[in-house]
């Protein structure tokens, strides 16, 4: 299988929703909240995490639905007995012991760690508010402003990856978990259904800053995981579910990454530490997430690595950190000395994503830089190449990237070929990585209508959008794209921020860059209004509708109702909705048969 075909096949497997999604087929998923709202607390350093639901079905005609509050994590934490909380940190490797996870309790810490905090600070970190001399708080949950909640479900079906099927069956009933980092240096794992805190990890690199925060005049600690990433990977010869995080901040601008094993959140030990790696002069990690995971082809079995960004003053590039052995032999991959315009380029990389083949091995990494350029790192033979060839520049947008945590690229499967969708400033482009890589993308026009906009290809350019890609400039020059997410099947959710702090949300057909779709199954494809303004980030829901049941030897169809919602003032308001479909085989595994055949104009 050539690279282009492998990419197209693998892209289909990646078409999973990454925002809040409506009820799934299993009973537990059907009871999950539709949204997790991060709210400020009474103090600038405290916060709330509220789980809410509403009637998201498109069967009804009302676009406004009252919210139902399901739980609030801070209130649940405040009701907990302190000894029942399971809070962990780690100790570095020593001459006698390896790097290891320990409970955040005074007897379990080593002498070097005890020198960096005292008993009162430790008690405050564990949630004790009895000492009036320490920083006051009305809730034990610290602020998570700017962070994102990641819901980790039981393992999903991953065909073509040896040994994963029994792993999936073994852990099919484990609880869904909602992971959130806060500014006291803590990464919380909540039961996504009930809100119960099951585990907390405080990176040892951040422990001194978190402990100092107990004093009222001290600055808050960095969030240990503003952009969490989770995946299933092989570690120590066995499949495990991992959580990877990157952090940066504090008076000395420290940075680092860590990897946790979160396979069994309901076990006596709900998480395990793979490793924690702080930035060093030899390994200048940027501390910007999400940290990606890739299975890299080797002479025998694939070797799994974390992929993290490097920080200036190092040359722009990526760090490959083996999941089994973090200290060595990590490697660095560099970009070419010249950018897309042929001029010298030294802009730092800001976000990365990985394209995978059908068997899960990595084919390429796509990274964006501060100058709006998209770089391609070939990963297929990277472990066998010394040194690895530099990345090549695929495309450049006019705007630069100013966000602290910019939107990573998205690899989208289309009937023609894979498209890499990425953003810079108020621009969004889908770039073909294949036979049409050097072609000029189609232009998408924006027309104001009602409370939003209609996005359509310029006259005569729609056919080329699916083959050579597309380019969209949003209407407000000061609008900044914050998030680009897959909304399977076939759509993208694009979230932006306006200068006044409000947000816009766009539902876009990924293959063409347009706001077009069907209102009901079988209806004509028509333009629709998108890009409405809301006070907070939108919520994406997906509802499975009745489709064609596949017969032996014939294809079926999956039909989904997709919707974007704004959640404000106790009401969920539907902003946009479409009905999308895709073909399936008789076992609903059309992913094995060929490239995506999404609904398209």
What is the tally of structural domains in the chain? 1
Look up the domain containing 128 and give its range: 33-226
Tell me whether residue 556 is in a domain: no
**pTM of the predicted protein model:** 0.91
**Domain presence at residue 263:** no
CA separation, residue 7 to residues 149, 391, 396 (Å)? 29, 18, 22
pLDDT digits (tens, 9 = 90+) for 12-68: 323 323 344 443 334 566 789 999 999 999 999 999 999 999 987 755 557 889 999
- Tell whether 82 is covered by a domain: yes
Is 525 inside any structural domain? no
Residue 430 makes CB contacts below 8 A (sequence gap 6+) with 412, 419, 420, 421, 441, 465, 469, 470, 471, 510, 513
Mean pLDDT of 239-263: 96
Residues 6 or more apart whose CB falls under 8 angstroms from that of 491 comprise 507, 508, 509, 510, 517, 562, 578, 580
Q: Is 48 part of any domain?
A: yes
Mean pLDDT of 402-416: 81
Percent of the chain with pLDDT over 70: 87
What pLDDT, on a 0 to 100 scale, did the predictor assign at position 66? 92
> Helices then strands (H, E): number in the chain?
8, 37
In a domain, 549, yes or no: no
**3-state SS, one letter per residue, for 47-114:** EEEEEEECCCCCCCCCCEEECEEEEEHHHHHHCCCHHHCCEEEEECCCCCCCCEEEECCHHHCCHHHH
Band (133; pLDDT cuts 50, 70, 90): very high
Average model confidence (pLDDT) across the chain: 88
Going from the C-alpha of 167 to that of each of 61, 101, 178, 325, the distances in angstroms are 42, 24, 21, 23
Q: Is residue 589 one of the residues assigned to a domain?
A: no
The pLDDT tens digits of the residues spanning 293-344 come to: 999 988 788 999 999 999 998 899 999 999 987 655 889 999 999 999 999 9
Specify if 366 maps to a domain.
Answer: no
- Measured between alpha carbons, how far is 256 from 498 in angstroms, rounded to an integer? 31
> Which of the 8 DSSP states describes residue 167?
H
pLDDT tens digit sequence for 92-130: 998 889 999 999 999 999 999 999 999 999 999 999 999
């Amino acid at each position: 299988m050539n690279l282009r075909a492998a990419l197209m096949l693998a892209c289909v497997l990646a078409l999973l929703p990454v925002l809040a999604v409506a009820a799934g087929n299993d009973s537990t998923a059907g009871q999950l909240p539709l949204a997790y709202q991060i709210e400020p607390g009474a103090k600038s350093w405290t916060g709330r995490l509220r789980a809410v639901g509403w009637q998201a079905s498109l069967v009804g005609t009302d676009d406004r639905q009252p919210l139902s509050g399901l739980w609030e994590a801070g209130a649940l934490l405040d009701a907990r007995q302190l000894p029942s909380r399971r809070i962990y940190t780690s100790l570095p490797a020593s001459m006698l012991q390896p790097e290891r996870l320990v409970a955040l309790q005074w007897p379990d810490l080593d002498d070097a760690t005890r020198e960096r905090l005292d008993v009162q600070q430790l008690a405050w970190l564990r949630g004790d508010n009895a000492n009036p001399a320490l920083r006051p708080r009305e809730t034990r949950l610290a602020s998570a402003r700017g962070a994102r909640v990641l819901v980790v479900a039981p393992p999903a079906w991953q065909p073509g990856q040896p040994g994963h099927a029994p792993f999936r069956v073994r852990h099919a009933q484990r609880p869904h978990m909602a992971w959130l980092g806060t500014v006291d240096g803590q990464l919380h794992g909540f039961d996504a259904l009930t809100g119960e805190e099951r585990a907390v990890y405080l990176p040892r690199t951040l422990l001194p800053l978190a402990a100092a925060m107990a004093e009222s005049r001290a600055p808050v600690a960095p969030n240990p995981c503003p952009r969490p990433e989770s995946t299933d990977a092989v570690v120590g010869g066995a499949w495990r579910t991992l959580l990877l995080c990157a952090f940066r901040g504090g008076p000395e601008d420290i940075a680092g990454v860590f990897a946790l094993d979160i396979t069994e959140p309901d076990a006596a030990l709900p998480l395990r530490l793979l490793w924690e790696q702080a930035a060093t002069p030899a390994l200048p990690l940027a501390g910007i997430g999400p940290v990606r995971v890739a299975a890299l082809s080797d002479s025998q079995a694939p070797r799994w690595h974390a992929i993290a960004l490097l920080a200036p003053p190092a040359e722009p590039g990526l760090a490959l950190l083996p999941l089994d052995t973090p200290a060595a032999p990590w490697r660095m991959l560099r970009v070419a000395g010249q950018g897309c315009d042929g001029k010298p380029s030294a802009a730092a990389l800001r976000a990365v994503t990985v394209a995978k083949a059908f068997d899960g091995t990595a084919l390429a990494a796509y990274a964006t830089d501060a100058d709006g350029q998209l770089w391609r790192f070939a990963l297929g033979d990277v472990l066998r190449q010394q040194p690895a060839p530099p990345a090549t520049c695929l495309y450049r947008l006019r705007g630069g990237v100013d966000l602290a945590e910019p939107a990573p690229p998205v690899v989208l499967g289309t009937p023609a070929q894979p498209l890499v969708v990425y953003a810079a400033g108020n621009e969004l482009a889908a770039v073909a990585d294949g036979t049409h890589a050097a072609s000029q993308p189609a232009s998408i026009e924006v027309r104001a209508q009602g409370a939003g906009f209609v996005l359509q290809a310029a006259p005569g350019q729609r056919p080329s959008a699916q083959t050579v890609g597309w380019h969209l400039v949003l209407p407000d020059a000061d609008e900044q794209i914050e998030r680009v997410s897959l909304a399977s099947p076939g759509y993208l959710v694009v979230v932006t921020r306006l200068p006044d702090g409000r947000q816009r949300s766009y539902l876009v057909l990924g293959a063409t860059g347009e706001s077009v779709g069907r209102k009901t199954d079988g209806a004509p494809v028509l333009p629709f209004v998108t890009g409405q303004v809301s006070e907070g980030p939108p919520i994406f829901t997906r509802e499975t509708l009745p489709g064609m049941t596949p017969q032996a030897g014939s294809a079926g169809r999956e039909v989904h109702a997709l919707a974007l919602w704004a959640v404000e003032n106790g009401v969920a308001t539907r902003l946009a909705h479409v009905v999308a479909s895709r073909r399936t085989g008789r076992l609903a595994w059309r992913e094995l048969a060929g490239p995506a055949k999404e609904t398209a104009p």
